[in-house]
Amino acid sequence: MSQSYCFSTWLVDGTGAPAKKNALFCIQNGLIFSVQFPGSEELCALGKEFKELDFFPASTILPGLIDCHVHLAMSGKTDREFRAKQLLNGFEQNAPLIEHRLQRCLNLGIMALRDGGDIGGHALRYMRQNGFSGVRVKCAGKAWRAPGRYGKFIGNPPEPGMSLAESLKAECAHVDHIKILNSGINSLVDYGRQTEPQFGPDELVRAFRQAKELGRKIMVHANGRLPVQMALDAGCDSIEHGFFMGEENLKKMADRQIFWVPTAVTMKALSDYPTAGVQQAGTAEMILQNQLEQMRRARELGVRILSGTDAGSFGVRHGQALAQELELIAQAGFSVEQTIQSATHASAQLLGLDDELGSLRPGMPANFVVVPGPPSELPGSLAHVTAVYLRGTRILPATK
Ligand SMILES: [Zn+2]
């Protein structure tokens, strides 16, 4: 039996509970055996008493992080020529890039991702071929959209003559979850313009019933009142983006405890890189402010908010973007503990990974991250990860 100890001055456990001081973890065979909170006298004795002790004073320990919305097969670079070209990449070209992005995530303490699809299905193929390498990835494969509508780089419409439900039945037995596009994207010219839903209400209801029969959860890309409302009424598991969804939809999400992944960092990225023109950057900034206002309201109403970045979008870099999204969630009024919960326990619940990730309690695998400073320095301190532990083994820094 292997046994080791890890001490950190603060603990944020991922459940939203208040941060605690002086956490001593006992790790046995990769699992958390116990968590104790020693007093100051016991603390002095710690160094002498335990041979296998990793000691992190003036640091905070928290669960491995989760990004609930990424596109692993795409780069977050802002070079438009590069962005257009990458869509033509074959699997062999994309595989090493995907591997690199996964490594970058792990170095920042990100241990699970939910992928929203790519037109080549490369992220899904990569994960099926390579398996687990430290980061769990749940994949949609390709997304589903209506003919002629937004989303050509991530998904296809159903085959002619087939309904969405029939297509899911035929093609989705091998994916981890189903991604459906039910609106367009934000206009950077015409602030607040809403787009038509991509699918009809009955079609969505039948498709979602089919997805449930397959045992798959449904993530729906939806912006604007009607597209979001239809996705909620048809029984989706999460709303992705949800820009301009409005108060009624927020209330519905709170009532039904449906997850919301606001991906606010996508608009931050567009406003920070005004390569397309000053006016568009200004519009992106206005959209961001509107989204932050919706997030504030979501907090008041008790909507379950999750951190997802849409990494792979313009200016949204895999790995780094998660801390940026968390900054925005904190800006919207969520406490440090709630902000971290959105990227840990709450996300693990949606991904069905809450028995291995998202909280730090006895019996759970010892998957955690150590960052410098007190909890009040989160989420900014996530940019300076001190150590990453995977099933009790310190993988970063890899000197042990
Ligand atoms: Zn996306």
pLDDT per residue as tens digits for the range 116-126:
999 999 999 99
pLDDT in tens, 276-325: 667 788 999 999 999 999 999 999 999 999 999 999 999 999 999 999 99
Distance 213 CA to ligand 1 centre (A): 25
CA of 235 to the centre of ligand 1 (A): 20
* Cα(179) to centroid(ligand 1), Å: 9
What CATH number is given for 3-63+359-396 in this structure?
2.30.40.10
Q: How far, in Å, from the CA of 68 to the mean position of ligand 1?
A: 10
CA distances for 293 relative to 98, 243, 282, 296, 297, angstroms: 34, 10, 17, 5, 6
Contact call for residues 120 and 94 (beta carbons, < 8 A): yes
Q: Compute the distance between CA of residue 182 and CA of residue 195 in angstroms, rounded to an integer.
A: 9
For 28, phi then psi, to 5°, come to -125, 125
In the DSSP assignment, the letter for residue 200 is: -
β-strands 53-63, 368-372 pairing: antiparallel
Interval between CA 193 and ligand 1 midpoint (Å): 19
The pTM of this model reads: 0.96
Distance separating alpha carbons of residues 394 and 117, to the nearest angstrom: 31
Q: What is the mean pLDDT of residues 122-133?
A: 95
* Ligand 1 center–CA 220 separation, angstroms: 10
Residue 39 has what pLDDT? 85
Distance 36 CA to ligand 1 centre (A): 40
3-class secondary structure, 289: helix
pLDDT greater than 50 at residue 400:
no
Nearest to 387 by CA among 37, 23, 62, 25: 62
For position 397, what pLDDT does the model report? 83
The chain-wide mean pLDDT, for the chain, equals: 94
d(CA 359, ligand 1 centre) in Å: 26
228-273 pLDDT, tens digit per residue, is 999 999 999 999 999 999 999 999 999 999 999 999 999 999 999 8
Distance 337 CA to ligand 1 centre (A): 26
> Could you give the percent of the chain with pLDDT greater than 90?
86
* Strand arrangement, sheet containing 110-115: 65-70, 110-115, 136-139
Ligand 1 mean position, distance from CA 143 (Å): 9
Q: What is the pLDDT of residue 52?
A: 78
CA of 383 to the centre of ligand 1 (A): 23
Is residue 69 within 8 Å of residue 114, measured between CB atoms? yes
**pLDDT at 325 (0 to 100):** 98
Question: Over the stretch 148-184, which tens digit does the pLDDT of each residue have?
Answer: 999 999 999 999 999 999 999 999 999 999 999 999 9
Confidence grade of residue 219 (pLDDT, cut at 50, 70, 90): very high
**Beta carbons within 10 angstroms of residue 16's beta carbon:** 18
Distance 7 CA to ligand 1 centre (A): 38
Between the CA of 181 and the centroid of ligand 1 the distance, in Å, is: 9
Q: Ligand 1 centroid vs 71 CA: distance in angstroms? A: 6
pLDDT digits (tens, 9 = 90+) for 333-368: 999 999 999 999 999 999 999 999 999 999 999 999
64 CA distance to ligand 1 centroid (A)? 22
Cα 262 from chain centre? 10
CATH architecture of structural domain 65-351: Alpha-Beta Barrel (3.20)
| Contacting residues for 253 by C-beta, under 8 A, at least 6 apart | 232, 239, 259, 260, 298, 301, 303, 304
| Residue ranges covered by each domain of the chain | 3-63+359-396, 65-351
8 Å CB contact between 150 and 182: no
Q: Residue 293 class from Cβ within 10 Å (0-12 exposed, 13-18 middle, 19+ buried)?
A: exposed
Identify the pLDDT of residue 394.
Answer: 94
- Among 33, 9, 3, 41, smallest CA distance to 23 is for 9
